[in-house]
Structure 1
């Protein structure tokens, strides 16, 4: 089973240890966002990276799908 959520980047900061990205779930703005808010996880997501090129791929205000798919267990 997998779960898809939709989050919006609300803050991107650069600090001495790299970049911090803060995402919040979508709650409105389109019929699709209404559905995501109704049926998927809520909360906040904070990611960090030292890779400036990767951090530039994320734009404050843009929305992103987050797919949660179980990883295989080590054998």
Structure 2
């Protein structure tokens, strides 16, 4: 029996592009869970009451991945056990 996948909806709260001399470009992405209508303006009551708070921070060096995140936009995040 496989473990269930948990789906959450997070929005990009901030994208920072720190510059460190001599290093490759990178971005710090901060994501917060969408709840109620906060984060994407849609009615998210059906699931957000179970995940009302949290935070995901990522440091990303892949330029294509950096470009995939837009401040203020919501994204689904699936948590699936790595087996």
| Offset at residue 59 of structure 1 (A) | 0.5
| Offset at residue 41 of structure 1 (A) | 6.6
Aligned length: 71
* Alignment deviations for residues 18-66 of structure 1 (CA, whole Å, 9 cap, x no partner): 11000000012222x2223112373100011112221111100100001
- What is the alpha-carbon root mean square deviation over aligned residues? 1.6
- Find the structure with the greater CA-based Rg: 2
With normalisation by structure 2, the TM-score equals: 0.75
Which aligned pairs between 1:1-75 and structure 2 lie closer than 5 A?
1-15=4-18, 16=20, 18-29=26-37, 30-31=42-43, 33-40=44-51, 42-72=53-83
Greater helix proportion: 1
> 5+ residue gaps in structure 1?
none
| Offset at residue 71 of structure 1 (A) | 1.1
Greater strand proportion: 1
